[in-house]
Amino acid sequence: MPDKSNTSTINAATFKNAGNTSNNRYTDRSRAKRKFSLKDPGSAITHFIGMVMAVIAAPFLIIKAANVPGNVHVISMVIFILSMICLYGASATYHSLDLTTRTNRILRKIDHMMIFVLIAGSYTPVCLIVLGGSFGRFMFYLVWGIALAGILIKACWITCPKWFSSVLYIGMGWVCILAFTQLLDKLSPAAFAWLLGGGIIYTVGGIIYALKVPLFDLKHKNFGSHEIFHLFVMAGSICHYIFMYCYVVNM
């Protein structure tokens, strides 16, 4: 006949192990559930929609540009639309996934870097097609040089204040002031309006991003000032896509 104390000890150990197994399963389920949930739903969904829209719009712009003799138009438009896809893709990925601290930090850096890529990509057709010549090439090298500098800053200092990031983005976006007279001469009033309108919308979005207006953040936990900033970015992209498709590609 087995010893009662040993039997009790075995039963207790078995119960404890069963409890640990149950807890481990519960933890695994919790992790799995967290892994497949969106980290920032509002931000992830808005820029995922932006990425899908850019992918759908890409072939129409590229095919139209390919019908123009020479390579400048098609190369410029490919750079423009790829910069847009990269920005929205990087943003949607960063705001969707909640992985390790190191991976999240890398995704955040890429997300911020792609803003400089989008700005430079949007300038590319303007520099090479609208402005052209030596001045157009100068502007092209200038904006891409600023973009590379911004990318390096984000690689080394991702925790910089939001106001500093906004100053970089907005300042780079308005480098076109150097070509203000030339743009007025070369663009129709409607084309200039789409270009300027997109720039203004981007700027307003950047200001909202920098200020983090509390009024917006208090309305809904998943849709605050950052998500509104995302909508302004999308609206600015739409304006510049119309500008490229309807006017620049025909020049």
Annotated binding residue 230: yes
Q: Do 18 and 133 belong to one domain? A: no
The pLDDT confidence band at residue 89, using thresholds 50, 70 and 90, is very high
Closest CA to 64 of 242, 245, 238: 245
Q: Do 19 and 54 belong to one domain? A: no
Q: Do 149 and 206 belong to one domain? A: yes
Annotated binding residue 240: no
- How far apart CA 242 and CA 118 sit, in angstroms, is 16
**Torsion angles phi and psi, residue 67, rounded to 5:** -80, -10
DSSP code per residue over 24-64 = HHHHHHHHHHHHTS-SSHHHHHHHHHHHHHHHHHHHHHHHH
Q: Do 9 and 83 belong to one domain? A: no
Containing structural domain, residue 8? 1-36
Annotated binding residue 112: no
Quick one: pLDDT at residue 34?
52
Q: Which of 5-14, 155-164, 169-178, 183-192 has the lowest mean pLDDT?
A: 5-14
Domain total in the chain: 2
pTM for the complete prediction? 0.84
- How far apart CA 73 and CA 67 sit, in angstroms, is 9
Closest CA to 212 of 144, 145, 165, 177: 165
Q: What is the pLDDT of residues 23-73, one digit of tens each?
A: 444 444 444 455 558 899 999 999 999 999 999 999 999 999 999 999 999
Do residues 211 and 170 touch, judged by C-beta distance below 8 A? Answer: no
Six token digits for residue 73:
């138009």
Quick one: pLDDT at residue 224?
84
Q: Do 26 and 124 belong to one domain? A: no
Write down the mean pLDDT value for the chain: 88
